[in-house]
Amino acid sequence: MSKEDLGSGIEDRVKSAVAGLAQSLIRNPRSAVVFAYHNVGVRCLSVLLAQGVEVALVVTHRDNPKENIWFDSVAELAALHGIAVITPDNPNTPEVLAQIRALQPDFFFSFYYREMLKRELLEIPGSGALNMHGSLLPKYRGRVPVNWAIIRGETETGATLHYMTEKPDNGDIVAQQAVPILPDDTALEVFQKVTVAAEIALYGCLPDLLAGKARALKQDLSQGAYFGGRKPEDGVIDWSQDARTIHNLVRAVAPPYPGATTQLLGQPMRILRTLVADVQSGSAAPCFYVQDGTAYALCGRGVLRVLSFELGGVAMSAAEFAAQHGAARFNFNC
């Protein structure tokens, strides 16, 4: 047998083995338990289903009636595909552990699930537990990473798929996808980009992950920091700050989030949409006024155009404000 024939024979056997493995994976799809919520949960669960992963169980949250539910339902998607769903308050209880352990899943996937998975739970899947995080790790580990990235004036963020450990968002990275943050993007607009980034990142790495060939990169945690959750009161505007900083806060907490808040004319005011204005601010105290049909907010340094606002819980245009209160400058009550 010539060297050429020998090489050809080896190549044929390799191709046959690869084809056999592919057929085996088709006949015996890798199984997963999916912990998911929100739009990222819906889109990433859709990716798993599209690529033939056998989703044995979905663990999600009951919607909180006190929360603004503006996002899609993981539970509804699971029901559409006949997948069993549970909504435990705590996924780490002995009862839930026993239920999931009996399924013997190859993988866990966590897509915007809000509860921490503890060690005993994380040790169940044979091929590992992975989480999709809404930032370019190691930056913005922790809660509400999209909102924090905008508040801090970042021009880029993204989604990161990483292995889970007991410490949040510090496991090895499997895939990342970046997206831009434009200067006037709101948190909702950036979150929509991050949702697509999560879908792309998962879709691209999933074949290798299922085949056991995915490479993981250890995080350099010194290159990022951990951020906590935010409360509505964190959206109170400090008017002594410069216009760009206040603009970043406004767009980071714009609806469907609670909005940036202040007090004007003795009433609560929500500032919902702004632009940094090319207007000289002078040295006056921070104030609100309408000029030539446009609303402005004078900041510690610089001026904002106020495109959308509410006063006393009522949405109001600049013209409506001027008709009621005139063209005077009104200091913020803060």
Rounded distance between C-alpha atoms, residue 226 and residue 110, angstroms: 19
Same-fold call for 3-227 versus 234-331: no
- Residues in the chain with pLDDT < 50? 1-7, 14, 17-18, 20-28
> Domain 234-331, what fold?
Methionyl-tRNA Fmet Formyltransferase; Chain A, domain 2 (3.10.25)
Residue 219 CB partners (closer than 8 Å, separation 6+): 137, 138, 162, 170, 171, 172, 173
Rounded distance between C-alpha atoms, residue 216 and residue 52, angstroms: 22
Q: List pLDDT tens digits, range 237-271.
A: 999 999 999 999 999 999 999 999 999 999 999 99
CB 262 within 8 A of CB 334: yes
- What angle do helix axes 38-50 and 187-210 make, rounded to 10 degrees? 30
Helix, strand or coil, per DSSP, at residue 95: helix
Backbone φ and ψ for 277, nearest 5 degrees, come out as -90, 145
3-227 under CATH 3.40.50.300, yes or no: no
* Domain boundaries along the sequence of the chain: 3-227, 234-331
User: What pLDDT, on a 0 to 100 scale, did the predictor assign at position 16?
Assistant: 52
User: What pLDDT, on a 0 to 100 scale, did the predictor assign at position 3?
Assistant: 45
DSSP 115: S
Q: List pLDDT tens digits, range 32-66.
A: 999 999 999 999 999 999 999 999 999 999 999 98
CB 260 within 8 A of CB 235: yes
Q: How many CB atoms lie within 10 A of CB 14?
A: 10
DSSP 221: G
User: What pLDDT, on a 0 to 100 scale, did the predictor assign at position 11?
Assistant: 64
User: What pLDDT, on a 0 to 100 scale, did the predictor assign at position 21?
Assistant: 44
User: What pLDDT, on a 0 to 100 scale, did the predictor assign at position 232?
Assistant: 87
Nearest to 198 by CA among 83, 39, 56: 39
